[in-house]
Amino acid sequence: MSQQTVAIIQARMGSTRLPGKVMLPLAGDHVITHDVQRVEAAESIDEVVVATSNRTADDIVARYASRSGASVFRGSESNVLERIYDAARTANADVIVRITGDCPLIDPETIDAVIHPVTAGNAEYAANFFKRTFPRGLDVEAFTFESFKRVYEEATEPHHREHVTPYYREGQEAFRTKSITSRDVFNEPEFRNRGDLRLTLDEADDYEVLRTIYENVPFDEILPIRRAIRYVDDNDLMELNRDIEQKTH
């Protein structure tokens, strides 16, 4: 029997550093639309769900996520672990792929690489940031619903409920885990070990980087990550957001 692999994009309007970031425009669409379209392009994904809060302020996130082709789940704003768990349960997920809504350059090929060891039965939890070899903004996690049910029942610390998956990484001996590196995705040396690049969206300077990429790199349906990285390198775009302090997962 085939497994149901569900990508859950975690998104809301109430970001502390850049409120409303998931609704910012990029090349004629919103960040949340790019998120959904890029995740849908991953071959291993059966369904995309945007999990937002039940606050009125997030009505617009739900509306545009639905317009973009995603299913929508709404739940607790503060207990994000519960929100993601309930979204996965509602979608009958066997494998969950967690992605945050501040990644409008998330890479479909990388998503598939992270999912594979979980769907193949070789890991209960896989991620591509145990060791930073991908640019920030390409972070992907995949885990079985069965193991996530244990996390939901056992994780009690506040940061476990807010950040969803630290319990896996803090208790790796209790789970079968797999680390995906850039060598698993990119054959070209120029795209490997690119932890120096920041392609996520936390602050205004990040948006300036992403806006510049989307306005200047030609693309059809989704902007290829290799083309984006080459443009960043050729134009030294990282000077714009190099000094931003990254929040932890």
**Could you give all domains of the chain from N- to C-terminal order, each with its CATH number?**
5-239 (3.90.550.10)
- What are 80's two structure tokens? 């994000």
Measured CA to CA, the distance from residue 240 to residue 249 in angstroms comes to 23
Q: At which residue do the structure tokens 């069965």 appear?
A: 146
Per-residue pLDDT in tens (0 to 9) along the chain, 249 residues: 689 999 999 999 988 889 999 999 999 999 999 999 999 999 999 999 999 999 999 999 999 999 999 999 999 999 999 999 999 999 999 999 999 999 999 999 999 999 999 999 999 999 999 999 999 999 999 999 999 999 999 998 999 988 999 999 998 889 999 999 999 999 999 999 999 999 999 999 999 999 999 999 999 999 999 999 999 999 999 887 776 665 555
Of 114, 116, 80, 79, the closest CA to residue 100 belongs to: 80
Backbone angles phi, psi at 166, to 5 degrees: -55, -30
Cα-based angle 124, 125, 129 (whole degrees, multiple of 5): 160
Read out DSSP for 18-75?
STTGGG-EETTEEHHHHHHHHHHTSTT-SEEEEEEESSGGGHHHHHHHHHTT-EEEEE
Measured CA to CA, the distance from residue 54 to residue 62 in angstroms comes to 9
Whether the model pTM is above 0.85: yes
